[in-house]
Amino acid sequence: MAFLSEAAVELALLEQLRGLGYGIERDDVIGPDGARAERESHDEVILRRRLEDAVARLNPGLPLAARQDAVRRVTQSELPSLLEENRRLHKLMTEGVDVEYDAPDGTLTAGKVALIDFEHPGRNDWLAVSQFVVINGQHKRRPDVLVFVNGLPLSVIELKAPGSTGAHLLGAFNQLQTYKTQVPQLFNTNALLVTSDGIAARVGSLSADLERFMPWRTTDGTSVAPKGAPELSTLIEGVFEQRRLLALLRDFTVFAETGSGLAKILAGYHQFHAVSRAVESTIRACPQGQGVAEDPADYGLPSVKSQQKGDRRAGVIWHTQGSGKSLLMAFYAGLLVKHPAMANPTLVVLTDRNDLDDQLFATFSMCRDLIRQTPVQAESRDDLQRLLNRASGGVIFRPCRSSVR
C-alpha cells in the first residue's frame, strides 16, 4: 500500500488551512535569514511586527505608549514555570492587557489593550508557517507547522509520515515533549497541540499526557465522522476554523490546580458543540431570547419554529459516565454569564446528592476565570433565599432536598 510522504501530508494540511483563510509561509522566507524576514533571530518566536500591527488596529483609541507597554508584557517572560507563564499570557490574550497612560488632560488613565478580536475573526492576522526553526542555546528544533494569530504562536502541529519508521502518534507526541523541554519559549502563548501520522490525528493541551490527546471527530457538530475514517482533515477544519479556534481559546480552556500540580484542560468536541447548542437553546427559551442561528430541524430534531420563545424549556444534554459532565456545565455557565442577552444572570445549580454538589462546586471553583466569579454554596433554604435576594450574577449551588421548594 502506497503512503503519502511527510512532506505531502504537510502540504495538504497547509492547503486546507489556506482554504480556512490563513496566510501560508515558509520559515526560510520569513525567518531571520529569509528574503522577507519577520524576526531578527531564531530564538524569537513571536512575530513582533504582526503583533504590533494588530494591537494598533484593534486599539486605535489608545496612545502608542500604552500599546507598546502591552506588547512588552506579552513578549517578555515573567514566570519561570512554562505552564504558569502560559496561564498568565492566556489571561492577557482572552481578557486584554491592563495598562495605564497619561490622558491628553494630564490625568493618569486606566485602559485595556486587546490582543485578539474574538467577535470579529476577520480583523485578526491568521498565518500558518511551515518548518519554523527555533534555537535555544545549543538546541535547534524545527516544528512542522505553527499557527499564528496576530503574530502569537497559538498551535504547534507535529506530523509523521504514514507507514514510515516511527510513524505513529506516540512519535509525534514525544517530539512535542522534546520541544517543550528544549525550546520552551515556543509554547508561552500556546493554545493547543496537534499530533498526526497523516491519517489519525489528536489534539491536546500544553499539559496533556498521551491519553489526554483526543480525536476531534466533527467539523460543525452536525455529524460525527465514523471511527476508522481519516481524522486529520476533520480535526483541522473542526478546530482551526477561525471562529471555533477563538472560542476554544477564550471559552473552552481552563487551568486547574490538581494533586500533581497545575493542569491545562481543553474541551472535547462533544463538550464544545453541546455547550454551543445549549446556549442557543437557552437564549431562545428565556423570556428575553433572541432566537437561534440555526434550526434544530436541520439536524433531525423538532423545529424551534414550533416552540414558543420564552417557554423556559432549554432542553437536555444526555451524557455517559466519565464524559465530562461537570466541565460541560462549567463551560455552559461561563458562556451564559457573559452573553449580553442574559444581562448578568444568576445561575442556581440543584443537585440530588451532597457528593455531587461538592464535585460540581469544586469544578466551578476551578473554572472561576470562565464565569468571572467564584461560586457559592447554599446549605439551607434560608441560605438559598438570602443569596438569591442579593445576587447580581454568579453561580449558586444547593443540594435538592425535600425542604427546598
Name the nearest CA neighbour of 364 among 340, 392, 334, 386: 334
Distance, CA of 388 to CA of 19 (rounded, Å): 49
| Least confident stretch, 39-43, 91-95, 159-163, 230-234 | 159-163
First to last CA, the chain: 66
- pLDDT tier, 379 (very low <50, low <70, confident <90, very high otherwise): low
pLDDT of 310-330, one tens digit each? 666 666 666 666 667 888 888
The confidence band for 43, taking pLDDT boundaries of 50, 70 and 90, is very high
| pLDDT single digits (tens) 286-302 | 765 444 455 667 666 66
Q: How many percent of the chain have pLDDT more than 90?
A: 57
Q: How confident is the model at residue 195 (pLDDT cuts 50, 70, 90)?
A: very high
The pLDDT of 375-379, averaged and rounded, is 70
pTM of the model: 0.87
Tell me the fold of 6-61+120-266.
Answer: tt1808, chain A (3.90.1570)
Here the contacts of 276-279 (C-beta below 8 Å, separation 24 or greater) are 276/221, 276/247, 276/335, 277/221, 278/314, 278/315, 278/317, 278/332, 279/332, 279/335, 279/336, 279/339
pLDDT at 136 over 90: yes
E-state strands within 35-178? 97-102, 108-113, 126-130, 134-136, 139-141, 145-149, 152-159
Grade residue 404 by pLDDT with cuts at 50, 70 and 90. very low
Question: Quick one: average pLDDT of 272-284?
Answer: 87
Per-residue pLDDT, averaged over 42-62, amounts to 97
Per-residue pLDDT tens for 249-273? 999 999 988 778 899 999 999 999 9
User: What is the reported pLDDT for 289?
Assistant: 43
SS3 120: coil
Q: DSSP labels for 30-76?
A: HSTTSTT---SSTT--S-HHHHHHHHHHH-TTS-HHHHHHHHHHHHS
CA–CA separation, 34 and 43 (whole Å): 15
In the chain, CATH 3.90.1570.50 covers 6-61+120-266
Cell 526560510 belongs to: 28
Strands 108-113 and 261-266: unpaired
pLDDT at 405: 34
346, pLDDT greater than 80: no
Mean pLDDT value across the chain: 86
User: Which 3 state secondary structure label does DSSP give 350?
Assistant: strand
